[in-house]
């Protein structure tokens, strides 16, 4: 008995730290799973102990399916019988389970170490769903097709896909734990206006223009090109006929780029000379970069810049020289151009928004930590717009029929079902009968027309609902065939040629050759409290202009961009926040403040002030018109606890908030801002509020940040 009790204690101790995310079908079939090592070990021990002697351990996938089957079946039963389901529950050993049903797929997130609450787990679920939408597009609108994509029959293919999704989830989790831009879900730009302008001009007039003018582009057109320094945006260019890229899609692409080429240099572990030269506390160091190659030089292959050539002035400090050698050692030869990834992004058109439109994503590494990302429009993208228009029409018709509307009442709206009929006939004819999927669509559409439009048919009533669903499945199948299945015509190029990709990579490397070391350091210390002047007249720093201010984050939710001093938390780094533990403590307070303010914002509060020990926290959300005039604060919508998480990555809460607020300001361009500040608690409240007003007005002045 004592031995049994001890075993139970040991087992319970071994599962204290457990994390898991699972996607399952209604029949408890695992469509995707990610677990940490502790969770996996516990499951293997639990189900391995129940095996008969002489039999090996069961496959982990089978074990985890058996473990979650009761929860999945219980959820399905509640939905069927009560039209309701779980959203979350906590077990006796304080394990938190958060569940969310998207169509026929059930997402379950688990945490057992206390590091994540219900909100964190719900956010992780929505981010995972966003990743899958970007990877599979409109196929996610058909549960049957999505199950086939997430769980391929080929076990090796399934393992590769799951490993890729697991890696994306881990990359996101790491960025959210360490990067302020992913904490608040907004893009951070590298603050260097001169270089930014030069790079944008280079992308427009040299890179994109040359690529789009080449015969090697195989019908693709570069719409967007941007340069990433770790997760920070150095420059972003969109062609004139391109739609704007949403913040949600851009953040997802940054995660994907980081996952493809992880930063080998720890952003929180800079070399000693980096800290001294950027924090303002060390001796002045001067460095003259090598002269940039001229157009005449770069045109000659013999005169390309040599990486190891000597600068005009050479450092003699051995520590500095060692750091330079380390940076050179990290340089890698240009890799072979990679096959692009197919991504599905939102496109704004004159007719409205079209979600999940196909693009090709090219991520070309320039140096470790520095990448060039290009997004191209593929030649057959018009097919995707047609498919979405038809899907939307059948979804609206299905909804009206489900609500009990019949006959002409069910077919009203724009476009009318009769307009859809003629367009869909032309669409199917253009596809041709050769493909199996096209033939299936033709057969289902013919049956739909016989039932809906023929005089002897039942017409538009509830009996047509299954055929609406069938039409949507067939349309998603066409979309899958066009954009997710590799073309069998191997002799026809379907992407930018390898030589064209290599040329783009080389051009960008030549442009940034003199800046690469500076950019890597700048990305770690983009803005600091002691080195970034907030006043151009007196050259004051944030710390001097706002005594008692420890940290701030300001976000322009209209553009999805943020600005904040860097937080370096390593033991070897001495900055204005002190060494590692002090900075880590302040970092944890900032992360906690963001989580707290989101909960208040969900309850309808746009202003929050909190005193926590030696610190005083403030949060403000406000609206302005285009001239900078602050608009009267209105009521913020109150959201239920189980609603989608507030942010811009998985669900763009702020876009909906701006749309809601703009109803009372017709004809005006409304902008939304957020400001979070951390002050020392000894500073009087009236001074803190004065600081917040002044800081908010100065941060977004056009003269301060011309590219924001």
Identify the domain containing residue 583 by its residue range. 533-699
Sequence-distant (≥ 6) Cβ neighbours of residue 420 within 8 angstroms: 389, 390, 393
> Do 81 and 211 belong together in one domain?
no
Q: Is residue 346 a contact partner of residue 356, using CB atoms and an 8 Å limit? A: yes
Backbone angles phi, psi at 364, to 5 degrees: -110, 115
Percent of the chain's residues with pLDDT above 90: 53
Residues 458-475, mean pLDDT to the nearest whole number? 89
Q: Is residue 346 a contact partner of residue 354, using CB atoms and an 8 Å limit? A: yes
> Do 430 and 558 belong together in one domain?
no
What pLDDT was estimated at residue 572? 55
Higher pLDDT, 599 or 417: 599
Q: What CATH number does residue 356 fall under?
A: 3.30.450.30
> Do 255 and 353 belong together in one domain?
yes
Percent of the chain's residues with pLDDT above 70: 79
Higher pLDDT, 315 or 660: 660
198: tokens are 């030069």
Q: Give the model's confidence band at 651: pLDDT under 50 very low, under 70 low, under 90 confident, else very high.
A: confident
Structural domain count of the chain: 4
509 in a domain, yes or no?
Answer: no
C-alpha 63/C-alpha 60 separation (Å) is: 5
Backbone angles phi, psi at 366, to 5 degrees: -95, -50
C-alpha 168/C-alpha 705 separation (Å) is: 32
Report the 10 Å Cβ neighbour count for 678: 19
Residues 305-328, mean pLDDT to the nearest whole number? 38
Counting beta carbons within 10 angstroms of the beta carbon of residue 66, is it exposed (0 to 12), middle (13 to 18) or buried (19 or more)?
Answer: middle
Q: Is residue 203 a contact partner of residue 237, using CB atoms and an 8 Å limit? A: yes
Q: Annotate 493-558 with three-state secondary structure.
A: CCCCCHHHHHHHHHHHHHHHCCCHHHHHHHHHCCCCCCCCEEECCCCEEHHHHCCCEEEEEEEECC
526 in a domain, yes or no?
Answer: no
437-446, 506-515, 699-708: least confidently modelled range: 699-708
Q: Is residue 396 a contact partner of residue 413, using CB atoms and an 8 Å limit? A: yes
372 in a domain, yes or no?
Answer: yes
What pLDDT was estimated at residue 186? 97
Is residue 402's pLDDT more than 60? yes
Is residue 705's pLDDT more than 60? no
Mean pLDDT of the chain: 82
> Do 537 and 606 belong together in one domain?
yes
Quick: pLDDT tens for 90-136. Answer: 999 889 999 999 989 999 999 998 889 999 999 999 999 999 999 99
146 in a domain, yes or no?
Answer: yes
173-178 long-range contacts (CB < 8 A, ≥24 apart) are 173/124, 175/231, 175/255, 175/258, 178/267, 178/268
Residue with tokens 């669509």: 441
Sequence-distant (≥ 6) Cβ neighbours of residue 4 within 8 angstroms: none
Sequence-distant (≥ 6) Cβ neighbours of residue 695 within 8 angstroms: 534, 546, 549, 552, 554, 675, 677
522: tokens are 């700048």
Q: Give the model's confidence band at 419: pLDDT under 50 very low, under 70 low, under 90 confident, else very high.
A: confident
How many CA atoms lie less than 13 Å away from 498 in the CB half-sphere?
A: 6
> Do 166 and 206 belong together in one domain?
no
Q: Give the model's confidence band at 534: pLDDT under 50 very low, under 70 low, under 90 confident, else very high.
A: low
Is residue 205's pLDDT more than 90? yes
Is residue 283's pLDDT more than 50? no
Q: Annotate 642-697 with three-state secondary structure.
A: CCCCCCCCCCCHHHHHHHHHHCCCCCCCCEEEEEEEEEECCCCHHHHHHHHHHHHH
Q: Give the model's confidence band at 8: pLDDT under 50 very low, under 70 low, under 90 confident, else very high.
A: very low
> Do 636 and 571 belong together in one domain?
yes
Residue 625 DSSP code = -
> Do 238 and 99 belong together in one domain?
no
> Do 463 and 562 belong together in one domain?
no
What pLDDT was estimated at residue 99? 95
112: tokens are 């057992």
What pLDDT was estimated at residue 46? 80
> Do 449 and 465 belong together in one domain?
yes
> Do 558 and 684 belong together in one domain?
yes
579 in a domain, yes or no?
Answer: yes
> Do 255 and 363 belong together in one domain?
yes
């Amino acid at each position: 008995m004592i031995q049994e009790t001890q075993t139970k204690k040991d087992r319970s101790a071994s599962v204290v730290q457990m994390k898991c995310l699972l996607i399952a079908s209604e029949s408890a079939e695992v469509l995707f799973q990610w677990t940490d090592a502790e969770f996996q070990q516990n499951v293997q021990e639990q189900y391995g102990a129940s095996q008969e002697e002489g039999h090996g351990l069961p496959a982990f996938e089978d074990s985890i399916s058996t473990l979650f089957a009761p929860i999945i079946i219980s959820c399905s039963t509640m939905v069927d019988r009560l039209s309701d389901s779980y959203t979350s529950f906590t077990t006796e050993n304080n394990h938190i389970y958060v569940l969310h049903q998207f169509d026929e797929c059930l997402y379950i997130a688990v945490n057992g170490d206390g590091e994540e609450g219900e909100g964190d787990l719900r956010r992780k679920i929505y981010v995972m769903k966003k990743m899958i939408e970007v990877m599979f597009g409109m196929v996610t609108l058909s549960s049957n097709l999505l199950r086939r994509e997430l769980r391929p029959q080929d076990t090796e293919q399934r393992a590769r896909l799951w490993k890729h999704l697991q890696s994306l989830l881990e990359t996101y989790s790491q960025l959210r734990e360490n990067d302020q831009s992913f904490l608040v879900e907004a893009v951070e730009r590298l603050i260097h206006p001169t270089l930014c302008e030069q790079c944008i001009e280079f992308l427009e007039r040299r890179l994109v223009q040359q690529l789009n003018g080449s015969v090697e582009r195989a019908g693709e057109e570069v719409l967007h090109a941007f340069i990433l320094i770790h997760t920070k945006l150095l420059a972003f260019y969109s062609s004139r006929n391109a739609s704007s890229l949403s913040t949600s899609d851009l953040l997802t692409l940054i995660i994907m780029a980081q996952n493809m080429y992880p930063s080998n240099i720890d952003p929180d572990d800079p070399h000693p000379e980096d800290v001294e030269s950027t924090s303002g506390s060390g001796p002045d160091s001067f460095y003259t970069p090598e002269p940039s190659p001229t157009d005449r030089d770069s045109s000659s292959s013999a005169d390309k810049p040599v990486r190891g050539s000597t600068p005009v002035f050479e450092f003699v400090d051995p520590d500095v020289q060692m750091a330079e050698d380390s940076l050179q050692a990290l340089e890698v030869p240009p890799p072979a151009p990679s096959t692009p990834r197919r991504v599905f992004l939102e496109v704004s058109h004159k007719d409205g928004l079209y979600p999940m439109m196909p693009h090709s994503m090219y991520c070309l590494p320039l140096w470790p930590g520095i990448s060039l990302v290009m997004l191209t429009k593929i030649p057959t993208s018009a097919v995707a717009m047609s498919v979405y228009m038809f899907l939307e029409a059948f979804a609206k018709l299905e909804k009206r029929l489900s609500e009990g509307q019949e006959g002409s009442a069910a077919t009203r709206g724009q476009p009318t079902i009769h307009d859809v009929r003629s367009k869909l006939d032309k669409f199917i004819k253009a596809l041709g009968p050769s493909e199996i999927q096209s033939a299936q669509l033709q057969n289902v559409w013919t049956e739909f027309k016989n039932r809906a439009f023929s005089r002897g048919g039942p017409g538009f009533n509830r009996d047509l609902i299954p055929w609406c669903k069938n039409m949507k499945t067939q349309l998603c199948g066409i979309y899958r065939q066009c954009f997710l299945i590799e073309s069998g015509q191997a002799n026809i190029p379907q992407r930018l040629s390898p030589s064209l990709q290599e040329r783009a990579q080389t051009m960008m490397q030549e442009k940034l050759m003199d800046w690469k070391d500076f950019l890597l350091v700048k990305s770690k210390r983009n803005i600091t409290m002691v080195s970034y002047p907030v006043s151009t007249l007196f050259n004051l720093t944030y710390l001097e202009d706002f005594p008692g201010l420890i940290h701030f984050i300001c976000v322009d939710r209209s553009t999805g961009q943020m600005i904040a001093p860097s937080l370096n938390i390593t033991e070897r780094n001495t900055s204005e926040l002190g060494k590692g533990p002090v900075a880590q403590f302040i970092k944890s307070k900032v992360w906690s403040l963001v989580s707290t303010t989101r909960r208040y914002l969900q309850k309808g509060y746009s202003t929050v002030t909190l005193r926590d020990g030696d610190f005083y926290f403030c949060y403000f959300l406000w609206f302005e018109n285009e001239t900078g005039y602050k608009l009267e604060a209105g009521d913020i919508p109150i959201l239920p606890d189980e609603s989608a998480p507030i942010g811009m990555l998985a669900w763009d809460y702020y876009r909906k908030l701006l749309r809601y607020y703009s109803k009372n300001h017709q004809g005006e361009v409304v902008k939304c801002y957020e400001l979070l500040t951390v002050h020392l608690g000894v500073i009087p409240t009236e001074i803190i509020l004065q600081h917040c007003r002044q800081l908010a007005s100065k941060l977004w002045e056009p003269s301060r940040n011309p590219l924001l």
